[in-house]
Structure 1
Amino acid sequence: MALTVAVCTGATQAQSKSAGCDSAVLAKTGSGECSALSKQIADVLSAPAVARAHWGIVVTAMDGSPIYAMNEGQLFQPASNTKLFTTATALAVLGPEATFETKVVARGKFNGAANLAGDIVIVGGGDANLSGREMPYVPPAQRPKAAPGQQPPPGPPALRYLEEMADQVAKTGLKVVNGDIVGDDTLYPWEPYPEDWSIDDAVWGYGAPVSALTINDNQIKVTVSPGSAAGQPAVVAVDPIFPYYTIDSAALTTGPVKSGSHVQIERDPGARVLRIYGSIAVDAHPDEEELAIHDPAEYAAAALKVMLEAHGIVVTGTARAQHRLSTDSRSYMQASHEPIPNIDFSRQYSPAKSTQQGEVVLAQHQSPVLIEDMVVTNKVSQNLHAEMFLHNAGAAVLGDGSTVNGARVVRAFLEHAGVDKDDYVFFDGSGLSGHDLVTPRATARLLQYAATQPWFADWKRSLPVGGEDGSLVERFGKAPLKDHVFAKTGTLGEARALSGYLDCASGKTVIFSIMVSAHTPRSNVDREAMDRIVGLIAAAN
């Protein structure tokens, strides 16, 4: 598709580039003239509030033919646009119907059915949905609405599947465990935080550690509510209700009317104490925060121990985690670029399973199919689930679910898809790593390749829809863009990205990727400019 010619007739390449038209695209299209779209985008990006930021944009037809580009070959932090690469790889390698198994096993010797000399072990199999999440994903407009003045009904209990497995164990007739309750997440090496994740993120649910044994997204919900009167202690509630963290709220009070909410939560790395302090106004709505569980396998073991004891099973030992430490001493860049011989993208690999000789299976749970988790992951930009896709791909293809093996599978897939090998580097699967880099043209090439694959319809429906759901529910809410933008968002510090598919005024669909870095901190003006550019692209094509 050639560039639309209007404005700047007879412009030189230098003049065209200053108006926002990349010389590479001019060369590809055989045009020495910049388009009306180029001039319109240049006008948006010349505004003082966004002009100092670094922008990269590419627009192509669905067959990859160039339409517009600016800095398309330069590297940007993709933030959660990384999930496009991770989820496409996982879908291609594992297939939409893949499932993951969690099991509870006995490792030891039985004296009849009632007595075990050994350990009860809950073995993580890479299931991201041992939680109260209801699946499949339902768009906000289709969810049941609460009656005026009432709270929506609560969802399923966060630990429901753990309870179900405890019930299965109790039904075997087991009465005494002369051993420990163990949380085994050795399907992946114990690498809870990929390189360059911010230490600030580790406290919060969105930065929860990665584990093959994941319970409730490896997070708990802490709700702080005002007391009955100013000066009274505020009220702290934890869900799930489970004595894992100790709460220190001695410095948390109820403030006077209209004083607002000023609640702070701190946890030292590895600590089991949550310090909650500050104030919340007597008339304020409760403050809800999602906090990360620092060792999910240990948490799962401790919760299962409590549940088994509630069934009358005596456990003489303790709850503990069983991790597997990495022994790969190579540099990440070296290891992640190592080719994978004989990888076959014409087949789908089976999810890896963790087994030990002689173990007796007492309970098990099968996950929802992969595609339903993928819809959740891309719609709401769920970081932990994206990381687990990365690890599960590495485990399935290479027999070891390390971060670097997952990155190797992603790299092999992208080279197979025709993406330039120097146009990206990924240190994680979610985009939380500040080391992740990608070019807009690599993102557009992935989007174009995906559109040719048999799994495309499944993958496209996982993307947020403008004005409708996911992370785009409050963007593109009016015609003509509402329900016509299918794209993944990304936000990390002073970087932002939006890439996907766009239904245009002509009825055609185009591919676009817009990335910005070094924008003004804690400002949304770059996002507003980005959304204006999407509107211009739709109107011009």
Structure 2
Amino acid sequence: MARLLGWIVVCLLGTQPLCAQTQGVGCDGPVVLKDGRSGACTELAQTIAGLLEEPAVARDHWGIAVVGMDDAPIYSVNEGQLFQPASNEKLFTTAAAMALLGEKTTYQTKVLARGVFADGGKLTGHLVLVGNGDANLSGRVLPYVAPVPGQKAAAADEGPVPLRYLEEMADQVAATGLESVEGDVIGDDTAFPWEPYAQDWVIDDAVWGYGAPVSALSINDNQIKVTVTPGDVVGAPASVEIDPAVPYYTLDTVVTTGAVKSGSTVQMERAPGSKVLRIYGTVGLRGQPDVEEIAIQDPAEYAAVALKGMLEARGIHVSGVAKARHRVLLDAESFGRESGAVGEATGVSPQQRIEPADDAAFEVAMRGEEKTLATHTSVELLQDVVVTNKMSQNLHAELLLRQLGAARGRDGTIAQGARVVRQFLLSAGIDKDDFVFFDGSGLSGHDLVTPRATVRLLQYAATQPWFADWNSSLPVGGVDGSLEGRFMKAPLKGKVWAKTGTLGEARALSGYVECASGRTVIFSIMVGNHLPQTNADRDVTNKIVAAIAAAN
């Protein structure tokens, strides 16, 4: 108690360096604020100091920066220290995409026929489904619409089917009169090099939809839904349903029905590179089904398998197989040098090759004609940015990063995308040592950023012509996205626009809050090394945002 009282006395005397040294909590800026109000900074510092001393979070590592919309400092603690941003990194990726790609940009997916055409609708050659980085070849309804309070979300089977756009392209192919293909159906994702995972993505994440591999030909968010439903009696086998029902994974299933109210112990495993999905455990009698989103091992191959099945269902005979076509890097400069984070890159393009290697049939196809049989144009980039930030969609952020590399860098690699983002952030006035990004989503454990870099980005964005649209992509407290269940009551409901972030024992929240005075301020709150399986730091973060709003 004496320690805290001593700190308060020093703060009230206005000796700012000692405030920071005593508790690690700063009162940046004068105690008498520009608008004439006095004491607000000191009161805010006292409030936050008390929150950070709560036993459940006292050992956590905290970084906080709060500034006005004019970048005037309001409060900070450890603002220049590096933290894992988790999904706060999507702020940086999507801002760069809005500024450098443009919110109206679209991407086109095509079905090409390559080979020799004969009477009777016969193609000797291949059908090639060519991806160009469209993130929304799925059943998602766009534009994004916030949920209606009190209204139950529509069941999945009431909305568009997950592979609807692939079905539409299959219809277009059938409408051309094609009757047979003496060759393969190829999923071609060579628009970007085949780099499915960024550095330091956790191997456990690769099983689940949120850690799905990245491909220029992405389909249904590169994930499938697996539903495990209990049987009619205890001990009976549970049923397992896959949606979409594409014959891609081989299931190794041993799931039984447990006792009433026993819950679910269902586990799902897949070895790296394997297409065998092992499902085991129990699910309680009369309990809710266990529903999981499982990542697709090779999205381009999966898309080819799905399209081949659709064509055959429309009476088009395909003699060959469904397979993927990748562009593989054979060598590369160090990520740090190529991304610009460490030293200067040589600028030499890495050696590459196409896999699998061209076979005789493909050579025949390349000597023949090429016809476009079907096309699908994506939604505009802004709609995808909204999905990326509202839903914290990792795959979509990664595709934006690769689009940035392809459009503004040397190629659609992770490193080139990171280099483009880095140059954008430097031009926005962010210190070169305040961030390092190894991906676009924040899944990499190597990603680091300071709170002051984050508030600088947010302040810079507020001065740009694309700000209003970008700001509308952020989750709104108590209303939608990843903040739908936070800040649910007045005075903060509908007054917080911010991006969440969670990765292991790191958590973050950064954005804008409309304060009690009507003034909007910018904040970034980052936490490192909190105890596992606790939400205490998230609750304290919410209280800090409330304190910021009340004090300003």
Structure 1 unmatched ranges of 5 or more:
342-355
Q: Distance in 2 between matches of 1:295 and 1:16?
A: 51
Tell me what 2:135 maps to.
Answer: 128
Read off the aligned partner of 1:160 and give its amino acid letter: R
Read off the aligned partner of 1:336 and give its amino acid letter: S
Tell me what 1:540 maps to.
Answer: 551
The answer to whether residue 317 in structure 2 is matched with residue 314 in structure 1 is yes
Distance 1:186 1:142, change over 3 A: farther
Read off the aligned partner of 1:319 and give its amino acid letter: A
Distance 1:22 1:167, change over 3 A: same
| Residue in structure 1 matching 2:211, options 207, 211, 217 | 207
Tell me what 1:185 maps to.
Answer: 189
CA contact 2:40–2:551 (8 Å) conserved in 1: no
Tell me what 1:396 maps to.
Answer: 407
Q: Deviations over 1:65-105 (max 9, x none)?
A: 10011111110000000000000001111111111100000
CA contact 2:146–2:479 (8 Å) conserved in 1: yes
CA contact 2:337–2:345 (8 Å) conserved in 1: no
Return the TM-score normalized by structure 2: 0.90
Tell me what 2:42 maps to.
Answer: 35
The 3-state SS of whatever aligns with 2:136 is coil
Tell me what 1:292 maps to.
Answer: 295
Q: Distance in 1 between matches of 2:32 and 2:101?
A: 36
Residue 470 of structure 1: CA displacement? 0.4
Tell me what 1:350 maps to.
Answer: none
Tell me what 1:523 maps to.
Answer: 534
CA contact 1:427–1:436 (8 Å) conserved in 2: yes
Return the TM-score normalized by structure 1: 0.92
Q: Deviations over 1:105-127 (max 9, x none)?
A: 01222124611111100000110
Residue 359 of structure 1: CA displacement? 2.6
Distance 1:433 1:164, change over 3 A: same
Q: Deviations over 1:271-330 (max 9, x none)?
A: 111111110111210111000001000000011111111111111111110000124421
Return 8-17 or 509-518, whichever deviates more: 8-17
| Residue in structure 2 matching 1:77, options 79, 84, 103 | 84
Q: How well do the aligned residues superpose, as a CA RMSD in angstroms?
A: 2.5
Read off the aligned partner of 1:51 and give its amino acid letter: A
Task: Count residues with an aligned counterpart.
Answer: 520
Residue 152 of structure 1: CA displacement? 7.2
The answer to whether residue 103 in structure 2 is matched with residue 96 in structure 1 is yes
| Residue in structure 1 matching 2:117, options 104, 110, 115 | 110
Distance 1:380 1:478, change over 3 A: same
Q: Deviations over 1:16-73 (max 9, x none)?
A: 4424433775799999996111111011001111111110000000010100111111
Q: Distance in 2 between matches of 1:472 and 1:165?
A: 36
Q: Distance in 2 between matches of 1:391 and 1:102?
A: 16
Identical aligned residues as a percent: 62
Q: Deviations over 1:421-446 (max 9, x none)?
A: 11000000000000000000000000
CA contact 1:220–1:238 (8 Å) conserved in 2: yes
The answer to whether residue 492 in structure 2 is matched with residue 481 in structure 1 is yes
The answer to whether residue 376 in structure 2 is matched with residue 365 in structure 1 is yes
Q: Distance in 2 between matches of 1:10 and 1:427?
A: 41
Q: Distance in 2 between matches of 1:28 and 1:438?
A: 31
Residue 14 of structure 1: CA displacement? 2.3
Distance 1:432 1:152, change over 3 A: closer
| Residue in structure 2 matching 1:168, options 168, 172, 176 | 172
Tell me what 1:345 maps to.
Answer: none
Residue 398 of structure 1: CA displacement? 2.5
The 3-state SS of whatever aligns with 2:56 is helix
Matches within 5 A, 1:263-412: 263-337=266-340, 359-412=370-423
Tell me what 2:19 maps to.
Answer: 15
Q: Distance in 2 between matches of 1:450 and 1:57?
A: 19
Distance 1:153 1:165, change over 3 A: closer
Tell me what 2:358 maps to.
Answer: none
Q: Distance in 1 between matches of 2:164 and 2:490?
A: 42
Q: Distance in 2 between matches of 1:399 and 1:182?
A: 26
